[in-house]
Amino acid sequence: MQPDEFRRIGHQVVDWIADYRERVDRLPVLSPVEPGWVRSRLPELNERGEGFDGLLADLDATIVPGTTHWQHPSFFAYFPSNASLPSVLGDLLSTGLGAQGMLWATSPAATELEQHLLDELVGAMGLPDRFRGGGVIQDTASSAALVALLAALHRSGTWRQSGVDGTETVYVSTQTHSSLAKAARIAGLGEDAVRAIAVDPVTQGLDVDALVRQLKSDVENGRKPVLVCATIGTTSTGAIDPVDAIADVCAEHDMWLHVDAAWAGPAALCPELRHFFAGVDRADSFCANAHKWLLTAFDLSLFWTAHPATLVDALTILPEYLRNAATESGAVVDYRDWQIPLGRRFRALKLWSVLRWYGLEGLRAHLRRHIDLAEGLEARVEADENWSLVTPRSLALLVIAHRDGDETTRRAMDAVNASGRAYLTHTVVNGRFAIRIALGAEATEERHVTAVWEALRMA
Amino acid sequence: MQPDEFRRIGHQVVDWIADYRERVDRLPVLSPVEPGWVRSRLPELNERGEGFDGLLADLDATIVPGTTHWQHPSFFAYFPSNASLPSVLGDLLSTGLGAQGMLWATSPAATELEQHLLDELVGAMGLPDRFRGGGVIQDTASSAALVALLAALHRSGTWRQSGVDGTETVYVSTQTHSSLAKAARIAGLGEDAVRAIAVDPVTQGLDVDALVRQLKSDVENGRKPVLVCATIGTTSTGAIDPVDAIADVCAEHDMWLHVDAAWAGPAALCPELRHFFAGVDRADSFCANAHKWLLTAFDLSLFWTAHPATLVDALTILPEYLRNAATESGAVVDYRDWQIPLGRRFRALKLWSVLRWYGLEGLRAHLRRHIDLAEGLEARVEADENWSLVTPRSLALLVIAHRDGDETTRRAMDAVNASGRAYLTHTVVNGRFAIRIALGAEATEERHVTAVWEALRMA
């Protein structure tokens, strides 16, 4: 494809996306297709090349009907993952440049823009100064948790040379995201090494007394506490762990404190919401997903650590073919040593597009709008005789259940999802089936919130 | 940004990329900027939103000068990483859709297109039928190696429950990519668990006798052999390990055989090059990067395993909030369980764009053209009195040195890189400094090869 063909077809593709975004609110949110339907309609690989029209036609005929529409205004499932249009263009520029930023030398701008934006966000989000110079973009919060754990293991002993010794122990709550248990498994610790500490039944936040008791018992039994993960905004109910109290415990046991704020993290841009982040100034690492509430197309997790040298030392391996003068000068950062893969996309460009287009004011307005919508819905649920909140509203997340019990609640959710008019997912809180209503899609307006509420009540 | 604004600005962005690709051959390949230059020119975050023009202006003024141009026709460093223009558009469509394919249910088309393409490629690349149904897209070959190792560890015992036991051992050659050692470190095995087996000094392929001796000694000492990585096309010199003989050894010791063909893998599309892949039919897993020689924008690694159930069983964790009817029916694949992160982009779309636009014929022609160019250059090096090949040409990779020794070779490379007219990187072979000339950028023509050769001879 020559640049001139790209110009012509590229305009078509841009128009296709614009059309898609204009009509997405009229599509069923959750794809209604059966397993195998998409695949049965896909063509064999062609021997000879073809133009782009066939692909665009198959997109309309097969891919779009087989897609669950994450950019739909009535997407309330999981956490919405915004791919705002400025971020789409920033990502396009990155792909168009086609640079690969594994080393500073392989694309200085990719590294320096990333350092710059992550440092600027330390200020904008009120994060501690100790995170300056310690910021990096990870693909997802799962990978962020994994590299935090690896750095913690490295700090704790002879891990790099001789591996884990079978005593290292990781502390999470029963509500911590499953990526932490997965990280422990990947790191060779096994399920036995993960302590899922109980939570307060009302707040769903980690019970610090229970943590202390577990630690005492583990230490007496010769285990080595390595890391605690505290969550600000759990996936299930948006619960907030008592980070400050957990930091005290970490200090006592010389443990790494990782704070997972994958969903709620961007709220730190709003000064009035900073109290949710109390204690983060004592964290060893912190993660917030720009690809959820911060309008940046997946994938882009913001990760900071107060100990970048430890992280780099944990992960670096320098074969001859990667040696270069800039690295040896010590004057540059090579981000390959901050992550699992070697190669890396120029992801900072899509973040920059978002930060410039909306401005900090615009981003704060976006966050506040969803919280306002959630407050409005909260009032309606509280006033309803059949439905109630299972846990207190957390920012823009509501968790609700029907008074008639689990079956009724589940039936209402299934009916709404099957209608295609909204998409909701569930959780279980203290043994009770509950519907999560996660507000946060960019296109969501008051009328979409009203519609999903009415649909639930009718169902 | 509304769809209509996106239409207008999107066309501008497409045109910017077309212009960039038209002029990239006139830019210095290796960015000449000093550390800190880019960052010193970056603006603070803006409070108020702004249009897209400022970002485009900064791209021209700061980002492009700070970029090493991987899409330049005279990029001969590392391995070229093509971001062909059809793949750029496929990636744009994926970002525009903004779907997230962690589960089949969260976007059926993302999963089923990926399954379909990976299965079709089994046929097109002459891979063994046992890989059908075992294909998945990973971000990079590093992650592919890591998941292969985790599946191997899981297969070998009680890893999931109790973690590694300190005896698991991984076998690579001295020429294996550093990502394998990194994977072993991440998996908690430590450097002590990695055996770097000697290679044949001429072919640079793994010495199977040395592997057998090391295994015997390790087993006698109570170590548990878990995985061997064989490489088809090493990073340093393009060497090819004797996969078939290694497979015999693996069978004897019940070890997982991972074949890393990150760079050379796409050559399997050409029947006349299939002999390089002898033995792959006995591999437990195989990796080839579409984002190198297969014209697909970074990142996209093709990974197949003959044991997908083992891989899934190694990595799966099912919290309540991810439960859904489709998963529980057992009729679908949830690709989150095949990889390190939870979330995943719809990467199959950019691969599909490439496969359709070029067709299998076009892709084979692309591969053969680079091999032809490399053969032509090989003849010129052989006829030269000052330069010689350090190892035999491997496909489209040449490794050469000047007869006057390391200093002269290095000076020549540095002079070419500093001129901005081409970009070369080096390796060390049997203690000798050597320049790698990796052909494979889509835009590279005969004249670019001639130019880099003349520049080296003059330098």
Partners of A197 in the β-ladder:
A173
Q: Give the residue on B whose Cα is nearest the Cα of A320.
A: B427
Per the document, the length of chain B is 459
> Which structure tokens are listed for B270?
């050409």
Contact B359 A47 (CB under 8 A): yes
DSSP secondary structure code for residue A428 in this structure: E
The residues near B284 (Cβ < 8 Å, ≥ 6 apart) are: B148, B151, B152, B250, B256, B257, B258, B305, B306, B307
Residue-wise pLDDT tens digits, A80-108: 999 999 999 999 999 999 999 999 999 99
Gap between the Cα atoms of B155 and B33, Å rounded: 49
Average pLDDT, stretch A415-441? 97
Strand A194-197, strand A168-173: pairing: parallel
Let me know whether A171 and A214 are in one domain.
Answer: yes
Q: What pLDDT is attached to residue A238?
A: 98
Other Cβ atoms closer than 10 A to B271: 9
Residues of B in contact with A349 (CB under 8 A): 63
Domain shared by B77 and B176, yes or no: no
From the list B2, B55, B236, which residue is nearest A356 (CB)?
Answer: B55
B128 with B184, same domain: the answer is yes
pLDDT digits (tens, 9 = 90+) for B79-108: 999 999 999 999 999 999 999 999 999 999
Q: What share of chain A has pLDDT > 90, as a percent?
A: 97
Band the pLDDT of B320: cuts 50, 70, 90. Answer: confident
Decide if B169 touches A, using CB distance below 8 A: no
Distance, first Cα to last Cα, chain B: 51
pLDDT band of A451, cuts 50, 70, 90: very high
Q: Which pLDDT belongs to residue B340?
A: 97
- Per-residue pLDDT of B59-84, as tens digits, reads 999 999 999 999 999 999 999 999 99
Residues A162 and A242 in one domain: yes
Residue ranges making up the domain that contains A171: 99-345
Interface contact flag, B96 A108, Cβ < 8 Å = no
Q: Would you place residue A322 in the very low, low, confident or very high pLDDT band (cuts 50, 70, 90)?
A: confident
Residue B25 counted as domain residue: yes
> Per residue in A278-316, is it b (16+ CB within 10 Å) or e — as a string?
ebbbbbbbbbbbbbbbbbbbbbbbbbbbbbbebbbebbb
Name the closest residue on chain A to residue B115, using Cα atoms: A39
**DSSP 3-state assignment of B229?**
strand
Torsions phi, psi of B174, nearest 5? -65, -15
Chain A, 416 to 435: residues with Cβ < 8 Å from chain B are: 425-428
Pairwise CA distance, residues B362 & A220, whole Å:
66
Percent of chain B with pLDDT over 90: 97
**What pLDDT, in 10s, does the model give residues B233-250?**
999 999 999 999 999 999
d(CA A173, CA A207): 8
- Residue found by looking up tokens 């020689």 in the block: B293
| B229 shares a domain with B161 | yes
Do both B6 and B131 map to the same domain? no
For residue A249 the two structure tokens come to: 């415990």
pLDDT of residue A445: 97
What 3-state DSSP class applies to A367? helix
Instruction: Tell me whether residues B63 and A189 touch, CB distance under 8 A.
Output: no
Q: Which pLDDT belongs to residue A330?
A: 87
Give the per-residue pLDDT at A171: 98
Q: Using a CB-CB distance cutoff of 8 angstroms, which residues of chain A are in contact with residue B108?
A: 31, 33, 35, 37-38, 66-68
> Could you tell me if B394 and B238 are in contact, meaning their C-beta atoms sit under 8 angstroms apart?
yes
Q: What is the dihedral of CA A428, A431, A434, A436, to 10 degrees?
A: -30
| Residue B330 pLDDT class (50, 70, 90 cuts) | confident
Same domain, A77 and A115: no
Query: Of A345, A371, A390, which marks where a domain is finished?
Result: A345
Contact (Cβ atoms closer than 8 angstroms) between residue B268 and residue B425: no
Quick: pLDDT tens for B157-205. 899 999 999 999 999 999 999 999 999 999 999 999 999 999 999 999 9
Let me know if residue B281 belongs to a domain. Answer: yes
Give the domain-ending residue among A293, A315, A345: A345
Token pair, residue B269, equals: 């599309």
**Mean predicted confidence (pLDDT) in B297-324:** 95
Q: Report the C-alpha gap between B416 and B384 in whole angstroms.
A: 18
Nearest neighbour of B116 by CB, restricted to A42, A92, A161 = A42
What was the pLDDT predicted at A374?
A: 98
Q: Average the pLDDT over A409-425 and give the result.
A: 97
Closest C-alpha among B183, B173, B285 to residue B233: B173
Helix (H) or strand (E) holding A419: helix A406-419
Q: Which ranges constitute the DSSP H helices of A67-177?
A: 85-97, 108-124, 141-155, 159-162
- Which residue has tokens 């997972």? A260
Q: Please tell me which residue of chain A has the smallest CA distance to B116.
A: A39
The answer to whether residue A61 sits within a structural domain is no
Per residue in A6-59, pLDDT (tens digit) is: 999 999 999 999 999 999 999 999 999 999 999 999 999 999 999 999 999 999
The pair of structure tokens assigned to B405 is 């020794």
Q: Do A154 and A312 touch, CB atoms closer than 8 A?
A: no
CA dihedral B242→B243→B249→B253, nearest 10 degrees, is 150
Spatial distance between the Cα atoms of B332 and A34, rounded to a whole number of angstroms: 10
pLDDT score of A381 more than 90 = yes
Mean pLDDT of chain B: 97
Residue of chain B nearest A86, judged by CA positions: B1
Q: How far apart are CA A332 and CA B37, in angstroms?
A: 11
**Do residue B148 and residue B262 come from a single domain?**
yes
Mutate to test the interface with A, among B20, B23, B27, B39 (most CBs of A within 10 A): B39
> What pLDDT sits at residue B104?
96
Q: Which amino acid is at A75?
A: F
The reply to whether residue B48 touches residue A361, judged by beta carbons under 8 angstroms, is yes
A325 shares its domain with A372 = no
Burial A390-416 (b: 16+ CB within 10 A, else e): bbebbbbbbbbbbeeeeebbbebbeeb
Residue A445 zone, left/alpha/beta (φ > 0; ψ -120 to 50; rest): beta
Q: Which residue of chain B is at minimal alpha-carbon distance from A442?
A: B1
pLDDT digits (tens, 9 = 90+) for B378-401: 999 999 999 999 999 999 999 999
In-domain check, residue A396: yes
Locus of tokens 């878990």: B226
Residues B199 and B232 in one domain: yes
- Sorting pLDDT into bands at 50, 70 and 90, what band is A147? very high
Contacts of B86 in chain A (CB under 8 A): 1, 52
CATH of the domain at B279: 3.40.640.10
Do A411 and A335 sit in the same domain of this protein? no
| Residue A63 CA: distances (Å) to CA of A28, A47, B373 | 13, 22, 39
Return the pLDDT at A320.
Answer: 87
Both tokens of residue A114?
A: 């990333």
CA B408 to chain centre: 31
- Is B107 touching A (CB cutoff 8 A)? yes
Residue A104 lies in a domain: yes
Probe site for chain B from A47, A84, A106 (most B CB atoms < 10 A): A106
Cross-strand pairs, B258: B229, B285
- Look up the CATH number of the domain holding residue B442: 3.90.1150.170
Residues 6 or more apart whose Cβ sits within 8 Å of residue A82: A71, A291, A292, A293, A294, A295, A296, A297, A440, A441, A442, B98
- Give me the pLDDT at residue B435, please: 98
Chain-wide mean pLDDT for chain A? Answer: 97
What's the CA gap between A400 and A392, in Å, rounded? 10
pLDDT digits (tens, 9 = 90+) for A193-205: 999 999 999 999 9
Is position B5 within any domain? yes
Same domain, A364 and A262: no
The closest CB to that of B92, out of A92, A139, A163, belongs to A92
Residue B426 carries which side chain, given as an amino acid letter? H
Both tokens assigned to A390: 């299972």
Q: B104 and chain A: CB distance < 8 Å anywhere?
A: yes
Name the residue among B457, B455, B412, B418 with its Cα closest to residue B434.
Answer: B412
Q: Which residues of B53-84 are buried (b: 16+ CB within 10 A; e: fewer)?
A: eebbebbeebbbbbbbbbbbbbbbbbbbbbbb
Q: How confident is the model at residue A321 (pLDDT cuts 50, 70, 90)?
A: confident
For residues B332 and A20, is the Cβ–Cβ distance under 8 A? no
Domain end, chosen from A320, A345, A370, is at A345
What percentage of chain B reaches a pLDDT higher than 70?
Answer: 100
A335 has a pLDDT exceeding 90? yes
What pLDDT is attached to residue B321? 84
What's the domain count of chain A? 2
pLDDT at residue A343, rounded to an integer: 96
> Could you tell me if residue A308 is inside a domain?
yes
Q: What is the pLDDT of residues B284-308, one digit of tens each?
A: 999 999 999 999 999 999 999 999 9
